[in-house]
Structures are given as C-alpha cells and as structure tokens.
Structure 1
Amino acid sequence: MNRYEVLIFDWDGTLVDSIARIVESIRAAARSCDLPPRDEVAIKGIIGLALPEVIAVLYPQMADAARVEAFRQHYVEHYLALEAQPSALYPGVAQALQGFRDAGYLLAVATGKGRRGLDRVLAGQGWEDFFDITRCADETASKPDPLMLHEILAYCGKRPEQALMIGDSVFDLQMAHRAGMDSVAVAYGAQPLEVLRQCRPRMAINRFAELASWLGSATGSEVKAYVG
C-alpha cells in the first residue's frame, strides 16, 4: 500500500475549471484601473498566489494602497459576476474525491483563494463539511510559503511524508517541496507541464482520474516515482 494518508488539493485549475475566468477578471480589473494589459501567459504564471502578491508581480509599479485596493475590488466584482454560474468541476473530480474519502484518506484544500471565496464555492458544491481542513491565503501565508501545509499537517496529526500536495502551479509544488512533502503536478491547469517538471513532482496527471490509479487506492499497488 502507498504511504500517503492526507491528500491536499489546490482549488482553481486543479479541482475547478476556473482559470479562464481568473484571467478575464485580472484583465478587467487592469482596464478599470487604467493599467497596461498583461498577456495570458504572464497572468497564468501567477495563478496560485494570493491576490496582493498577484498585483505586486503583475504591476510592481502600483505601490499606492488605494490603487491596490481598487484593483482588488474590481477583480472581485468581475469574478463574482462571472461566477453567477459557478465554474464547473473538472471531469471525474467529484467521483474521485468521494472515492478517496471512502478509501480512508484525509482530504484538505490549500488555496490562494480568500476564505469568503472558498466558502462560497464549497457551499455551491454542497461541500461545506466534505474536506477535513481547508486553508486560504488570507488567513495564513501565501504560496509558496509552506505555512498552510504545516497547519494542515498539524491539524491532521501527520508527518510531511504522509501527505501529498496536488496542484497545477509551480507555487503548489514549491510549497510542497519546502514542507518536505511529495507533490503531483496537474498538467491541465494554469501552467504547462514543462514548467511544472522543473519542480520534480512525483507524478504528473493529464486527467484527474489518473490520480486514483497512481495512488493505487483500488488495487493497493505501490506508488512509483514519476520519471519524465
């Protein structure tokens, strides 16, 4: 059997197909604040960070606190308007997560979203009590700082080698490495696989359903390192 007992998931781009909406909302906020546009690659490259860090990376010249807050407000308003119809889960996510829970894994979320945003989308899925613990960027340190992973491990009473971080950004994988934790790269999210591979994940998946097969939750097969 594999040694993992805690599965920790990023949210946007890993469980939920929301990347396009994030890109659109950042562009809309920039237009509202009369800021120059950033291309899609640049925006996708910062998805996973907390919003203040996103603004600092994309617009480092914007140091005025009032302008930063205006950008944040425009982003949130535009994103919430798009989310009137909630972003869909990626295919196979709901079934796989239920399978993991039934198999006895502890499940957690570690996200760059704010607490209000995550609680809203969890409620929309009927998942208010589904995960054992969730941590958000506005209540701890932003990725790639490993603090939220340390907090999840402490809550679950587990060691880093007993947990696995699953995410679609380098910030997820760097955070896991700094916490002494293995990771799985999600190749269908915000960042391309060739970028994620540089962080040396244990495995890369092209579809969410591949995670269960790799973990061997149905067969009890031994987890093997990803080579590629």
Structure 2
Amino acid sequence: MVIDTLIFDWDGTLADSIGHIVSTMQSAAVAVGLPVPSDEAVKGIIGLGLPEAAAVLFPQRPDLAVPVVEAYRDIYLSDDQQAVPLFAGVRQALDDWREEGYLLAVATGKGRRGLNRVLGQHDLLDYFDATRCADETVSKPDPAMLHQILRQLGRGSGAAVMVGDSCFDIQMAHNAGVRAVGVSYGAQSRGQLEQLTPAVCVDRFVELAPWLSGQRAGSRGIGLERV
C-alpha cells in the first residue's frame, strides 16, 4: 500500500527540545524534594505522558507523582518563552510533503496546552491534519493515539508511517500495525531503536525524504506489475 500519511513525534523528532525536557524534569525533582534523575534516566522516559514518566522515574515516591508533574508543567511553561528550534530541514520537508499530498499528523507525549504553545510559536497551529496528545488519550506505547489519528483521517494502518526518536514511538507503531521509522538524533540511540526493528533508522531528519520517495516509488512499481 502506498504511504500517504506521515505521523511524527514532536520532542526529539521535529523539535530539538531534549535538553530542555531533561533540565526541566531535574528542576521539578528539586522543587518537590526528590532525588535528581540523571540525564540518561530522563531521556529514557521521553515519549511517555507525564504521569507515566513520573511513575518510572520516581517509583519510590508515588505520593509525589502529582506534585512533580505539576512542578514540571509550571517550570516548562514559564521557561518556554522562546520557541525551541526545529531540527535542520524540518520545515522545508514538511512544506514539501504537504505539496506532494501527504497527510501530516503529530502523536506526542506532550499535553495539549504544551503542544499548542509550541505549534503557535512556529506558526504551525493549523498546519497538521491531526494531532493527538498524551493527556487526551492513553500514553505511548499503547496504540490508541495512532488508531485515533488514523480514524480521524480516514486512513488504514498500511498507509501510514510513525516517525519517532524513542522506543515508545517504535513500540506504539508496531502495536498499531503502522510502519515505524526511528530517528537517532533525539532521546535514544540508533542501537536502542534498532533493537525494536523499525523499518529504517535515520541519523538526520533530511534523510527521511529519500527513504519515503523510495517507498512510494516501490509501491507504485508493485502496483504496475500486478496490473
């Protein structure tokens, strides 16, 4: 089936925000009196919804899960005065794919308030055909987020690709029957992502376009042979 729907994670996939997330979570831990997690520990939960992330990072203090989530949100939104930059080539590629007729969507562990804020900062608020946030549905790696996006767009799983930088993105794609593409420049390494067998793993965002072109050309070729 020809790919015509591209679904992206936000943090670490489209936006260069991993460092900001790490420092914010560490500050939130300090604010509520929890041990400060390491950079790698925080990177390991990026992609989850905030409550799920807090449960993984601070299992010894479930009583502080809600306070640390609230502290994170307060710090993140108060510090986020300037837009976190998009990765090189992202905006041009998105524009090109829209011109080519792809449907574009975002499936993120961010909350709706946070996603709308960053989309607005980049003048992308009405840009995507569908978006879904962790506070609107079940957290990754459950497939609900992708199922809801595909249902909204009227597309089947075979027509879509999920692009993300975390193992949760790859697992969610597999759980939804959607092709998974890993990006190694975000939260987790190529080695970590490839353990979950994505269709491909790229080291730069600009490498996605040639891969997609090859997939589309291959699908068309198969269709012609069958005719």
Q: How high is the TM-score relative to the length of structure 1?
A: 0.92
Runs of 4+ in 1 over 3 A off after TM superposition: none
**How far apart in 2 are the matches of 1:4 and 1:166?**
13
Spell out the pairing of 1:186-197 with structure 2 (5 A cutoff): 186-197=183-194
- Of residues 189, 208, 222, the one that matches 2:218 is 222
Structure 1 unaligned regions, length at least 5: 224-228
1:102 alignment partner, one of 93, 99, 116: 99
SS in 1 for 2:198: coil
Letter in 2 for 1:132: D
Distance 2:141 2:67 in 1: 25
1:226: which partner in 2? none
CA deviation profile, 1:156-178 (whole Å, cap 9, x unmatched): 11111110000000000000000
- Equivalent residues of 1:49, 1:112 under 8 A apart: yes
Amino acid at match of 1:209: V
Q: Which residue of 1 aligns with 2:3?
A: 4
Q: Which residue does the alignment assign to 1:212?
A: 209
Equivalent residue, structure 1, for 2:143:
146
Q: Secondary structure at the match of 1:185?
A: strand
**Equivalent residues of 1:21, 1:82 under 8 A apart:** no
What is the alpha-carbon distance in structure 2 between the residues aligned to residue 72 and residue 3 of structure 1? 40
Partner of 1:62: 61
Shift of 1:117: 0.6
Question: What's the counterpart of residue 202 of structure 1?
Answer: 199
Give 1:59 deviation, angstroms.
Answer: 0.4
Q: Which of the pair is proportionally richer in helix?
A: 2
1:26 corresponds in structure 2 to 25
- Contact 2:2–2:216 (CA under 8 A) maintained in structure 1: no
Given candidates 116, 121, 124, the residue that maps to 2:121 is: 124
Residue 35 of structure 2 aligns to a residue whose secondary structure is: coil
205-214 vs 74-83, which deviates more? 74-83
Q: Could you say what the CA RMSD is over the residues aligned between the two structures, in angstroms? A: 1.4
1:136 aligns with 2:133: yes
Which AA in structure 1 matches 2:119? L
**Identical-residue share of aligned pairs (%):** 52
Q: How many residues align?
A: 219
Cα distance in structure 1, aligned partners of 2:50 and 2:133:
11
SS of the residue 1:222 aligns to: helix
Of 67, 76, 80, which aligns to 1:79? 76
